[in-house]
Amino acid sequence: MLNIISDPFFYVVAVPAVLLLGISKSGFGAGFGSLAVPIMALSISVPQAAAILMPVLLLMDVLGMAAFRKDFDKQLLKFLVPFALVGTAIGAFLFKLLDAHIVAGMVGAFTLLFLVQRLLFPPRPDSPPPPRWTGALLTMTSGFTSFVAHAGGPPINAYLIPMRLPPIKFTATMAFLFFVINLSKWIPYGWLGLLDARNMGTSLVLLPLAPLGVWVGLRVARHISPFLFYRFIYWGMFLTGTKLLWDGFAG
């Protein structure tokens, strides 16, 4: 018999969280996806929610890469991937020392500060992209927060949004980046004892929802205007930042 979580309330929060994650990963560059773990944490702990989502994320990443295999920015990925892996390594070594609520609060505060800065001081059309040292720091932060709570979207969004990439290229690059990040987390998660039979069994129950969420996101990403696309990104970051900041104080 499959060993799974039996609490009905868990599935009340987990089903929309997984669908939101799929839509986000394929359509909105992880803007709303960082809400998945905080939503599931209404029923279970943050580390358990992160572990349950690992197989779901793997399937979503593979589907997303297949759909966007011709659209990603290769040069940008070459720059981002090494720093992201450094961030995940830091997250792995500090995981047991850090309170997940504190990390959530820090990510939420950073996300909201970035949005305030964008609203009060909007960039000019001819403004240069962010400096590479900023990209390196934000990408490492993204790898770190992704490892701790699958909340890597807000930091990397803060670096990529000012580049004003076309929606498809933005989403495709994020899909490939987070495939590498999420793949790198499997061995450390196993080492930390998070990939137990109950978590993996529960993940299998949620797995069929992954293609549905990705399909909806793909439909949106290929038909949305850049203006509306980035408005959704901003709203996703606002909701994510608010929820994570609340979790930081509530913890």
CB atoms closer than 10 angstroms to residue 195: 17
Please provide the distance, in angstroms rounded to a whole number, between the alpha carbons at the two ends of the chain. 35
Instruction: Say how far apart CA 21 and CA 41 lie, in whole Å.
Output: 14
Burial of 216 (0-12, 13-18, 19+ CB in 10 A): middle
Instruction: Say how far apart CA 36 and CA 14 lie, in whole Å.
Output: 8
pLDDT for 88 equals 94
Are the C-beta atoms of residues 210 and 62 closer than 8 Å to each other?
no
Query: pLDDT tens, 208-231?
Result: 988 888 887 777 666 667 677 667
pLDDT confidence bin for 87, thresholds 50/70/90: very high
Specify the DSSP class assigned to residue 42.
T
**226 compared with 248, residue with greater pLDDT:** 248
* 188 residue type, one letter: P
When pLDDT is averaged across residues 94-123 and rounded to a whole number, the result is 73
State the DSSP string of 165-215: --HHHHHHHHHHHHHHHHHHTHHHHHHTT---HHHHHHHHHHTTHHHHHHH
Indicate the pTM of the whole model: 0.77
Max CA pair span of the chain: 61
pLDDT for 76 equals 95
Take residue 127 and report the two structure tokens written for it. 């403004």
What value does the mean pLDDT of the chain take? 82
> Residue ranges of the domains in the chain?
8-250
pLDDT for 118 equals 67
Instruction: Say how far apart CA 85 and CA 101 lie, in whole Å.
Output: 22
Are the C-beta atoms of residues 41 and 230 closer than 8 Å to each other?
no
Q: Kindly report each contact of residues 99-103 with a partner whose C-beta sits within 8 Å and lies 24 or more positions away, as own/partner.
A: 99/251, 100/45, 100/46, 100/47, 100/148, 100/149, 100/251, 101/46, 101/247, 101/248, 101/250, 101/251, 102/248, 102/251, 103/145, 103/148, 103/149, 103/151, 103/248
pLDDT for 109 equals 79
Instruction: Say how far apart CA 102 and CA 104 lie, in whole Å.
Output: 5
Query: pLDDT tens, 19-76?
Result: 888 877 765 544 566 677 777 877 888 788 888 999 998 888 888 788 778 888 999 9
SS3 69: coil
pLDDT over 70 for what percent of the chain? 84
Take residue 231 and report the two structure tokens written for it. 């408005």
